[in-house]
Amino acid sequence: MTTWKRVAGITLAASAAAAALLGGAAVYIGVYDVSATSQHTAFVYHLLETSLRRSVKLRTSGMEVPALDDRDRIINGFRHFRAQCVQCHGAPGVAPQPFALGLTPAPASLVDAARHWPAAEVYWIVRNGIKMSGMPAWQYRLSDDEIWDVVAFMKVLPALSPADYAMWSDEHAPLPARDETPPASAPEPRLGDAAAGRKALQQYVCVTCHAIPGIVGANKHVGPPLAGIADRQYIAGVLPNTPANMLRWLRDPTKVDPLSAMPDLGVSEQDAQDIAAFLYTLRDGE
C-alpha cells in the first residue's frame, strides 16, 4: 500500500470514530430534543421519508393486487376507514381528533397518499404500520380482506367532496362491534407457533406491563415477570397452569378474576394460541 493511501485510510477511520463518539456524547448528554413540538430537521425528515419509500417498495415488489373496484368492497372499506383511520388522518371536511394533531410526524391527509402510493404499497403500510411514527399495524385487528377493502376505498377517496363524504356517512351505518367469529378470509387455524407468539406479544401491549425474557423493552413490572411461567403451578395465583387455562386467561382475564389489573385486550383465538406457545418456552433457570 502506498503511504498516501495509508494516511487517507487512517484519517477516514479516525474521523468516523470521532463522529460516532460525538454522536454518542450528544445522545448521552441529552442534547437531542425528543419533544413532539420540535420539528425534524430537513435532513432527518428526508432520511425517514426515503427509508419509508425504499423499505415499502422492496417489500411489495411482485405483490398481487385483487380487484378493487367492487362497490361492496369500497363501502365496507369506507366503514372501516371511518371506524379506524379518520381519527388520525381526517377525511374530506373532517379534521383529525385533537390527540392526532399533536403527533410528530403529523398523519398525512390520505387524499394525497392515495394519489402517489400504488395500491400494494398502501396495503403493506396499513397491514404493517410504520415504526417510530404513530402509524399502527392493523394486521392483528383487520383481516387481509378488510385491509384490501380500505385500500379500495382510499382509491375513490380523492374524488369525494366534503358533501359526498357527509352523504356516505349518513347512508352507511357504523360497523357493529366485533363478534368472536373469525373473519371469513381467516386462514385455517394452526397449532400455536412460538415465533408468531413472540411477534404477537408486541401487538397487544403485553410488553408494557410484564418483564419478558428475550423481548427488548419488556422490563416493566406492572404485572408479574413472565420468566419461568412454563414451570409455575398457577396462572395469576388462581388457575391451574394448563394450556387450556392459559388460553382462557389470555383472552378473558377479567372473566377469570373480575378484579384483575390485566385488561381484556381483544386477543384472537389464534394469537392466544401462539402467545401461549411462546410463554411455554419460558422455563425456570433460563
Q: What does the binding site for ligand HEC look like in residue numbers (CB under 6 A)?
A: 84-85, 87-89, 100, 103, 105, 107-108, 110, 113, 117, 122, 125-126, 130, 133-136, 138, 150, 201, 204-206, 208-210, 222-224, 226, 229, 232, 235-236, 250, 257, 260-263, 265, 267, 275, 279
Of 68 and 201, nearer to ligand HEC (C-beta) is 201
SS3 content of the chain, % helix, strand, coil (to 5): 55, 5, 45
Q: Is 66 left (phi over 0), alpha (psi -120 to 50) or beta?
A: beta
User: How far is it, in rounded angstroms, from Cα 121 to Cα 117?
Assistant: 6
Q: Find the length of the chain.
A: 286
User: How far is it, in rounded angstroms, from Cα 263 to Cα 111?
Assistant: 36
Of 74 and 122, nearer to ligand HEC (C-beta) is 122
Q: Are the C-beta atoms of residues 197 and 274 closer than 8 Å to each other?
A: yes
Q: How far is the CB of 218 from ligand HEC (least distance, A)?
A: 10
How far are the Cα atoms of 79, 136, 200 from residue 84, in angstroms, in the given order?
9, 10, 20
Q: How far is the CB of 99 from ligand HEC (least distance, A)?
A: 8
Of 134 and 213, nearer to ligand HEC (C-beta) is 134
Kindly tell me the burial class for residue 25, based on how many C-beta atoms sit within 10 Å of its own C-beta (0-12, 13-18, 19 or more). exposed
Q: How far is the CB of 57 from ligand HEC (least distance, A)?
A: 13
198-224 core/surface letters (b: 16 or more CB in 10 A; e: else) = bbbbbbbebbebbbbeebeebeeeebe
Q: How far is the CB of 105 from ligand HEC (least distance, A)?
A: 4
Of 75 and 108, nearer to ligand HEC (C-beta) is 108
Q: How far is the CB of 267 from ligand HEC (least distance, A)?
A: 5
Q: How far is the CB of 125 from ligand HEC (least distance, A)?
A: 5
Of 70 and 128, nearer to ligand HEC (C-beta) is 128
Of 156 and 279, nearer to ligand HEC (C-beta) is 279
